[in-house]
């Protein structure tokens, strides 16, 4: 029975798994998004989200606690300055996992894990494109005369172009 066993061991020893998750968390904080297998992404989410929560409280104790997990001074400064500032009012859910196509070689399920506040595609900064409203009937009555005028203009432009080669006659005797 699996009672109380919620850690995915990922087929690795404890020390290897901790080192791998620390390296992946470092890469995620530096690059803001990484591509990995779905199982590793889910394991990384449970590893990195408590660290981001700790980074919201910038004290010496929380810095030392997070450093014991990540072991990289540059990443700690990025985490406590930039990332914690962006997620200050978010109550959790700092990462997003997006499933990708399976990997070519071994058909492993792949996923993209990213920090939510750093994605400009889903962010609030993106302009919403307004699409033209069309009816099911086709074009509206107001658009019909404009379309007819446009067709007449294109026919006038095409006609002189066709006549120009016809008027040229070979010069000779």
CB burial of residue 41 (10 Å; 0-12, 13-18, 19+): buried
Least confident range from 5-14, 86-95, 107-116, 159-168: namely 159-168
| pTM of the predicted protein model | 0.69
Give the pLDDT band (50/70/90) at residue 118.
Answer: confident
Say if residues 70 and 26 touch (Cβ distance below 8 Å). Answer: yes
Least confident span in 49-53, 58-62, 106-110, 125-129: 125-129
Average pLDDT over residues 145-159: 58
Q: Is pLDDT at 64 greater than 90 in this prediction? A: yes
In our burial notation (b when 16+ CB lie closer than 10 A, e otherwise), range 81-99 reads ebbbeebeeeeeebbbeee
At 2, is the pLDDT very low, low, confident or very high (cuts 50, 70, 90)?
Answer: confident
The structure tokens 């010496």 sit at: 60
Question: Please, which residues bridge with residue 115 across strands?
Answer: 95
């Amino acid at each position: 029975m699996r009672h109380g066993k919620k850690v995915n061991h990922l087929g690795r020893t404890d020390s290897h798994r901790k080192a791998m998750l620390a390296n992946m968390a470092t890469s995620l904080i530096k690059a803001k998004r990484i591509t990995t297998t779905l199982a590793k992404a889910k394991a990384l989410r449970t590893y990195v989200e408590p660290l981001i929560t700790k980074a919201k409280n910038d004290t010496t104790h929380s810095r030392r606690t997070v450093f014991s997990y990540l072991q990289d001074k540059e990443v700690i400064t990025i985490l406590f300055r930039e990332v914690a500032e962006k997620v200050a009012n978010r109550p959790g859910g700092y990462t997003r996992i997006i499933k990708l196509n399976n990997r070519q070689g071994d058909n492993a399920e792949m996923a993209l894990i990213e920090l939510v506040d750093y994605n400009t595609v889903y962010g609030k900064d993106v302009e919403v494109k307004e699409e033209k409203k069309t009816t099911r009937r086709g074009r509206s009555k107001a658009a019909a005369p404009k379309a007819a005028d446009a067709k007449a203009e294109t026919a006038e432009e095409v006609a002189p172009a066709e006549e120009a080669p016809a008027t040229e006659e070979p010069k000779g005797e």
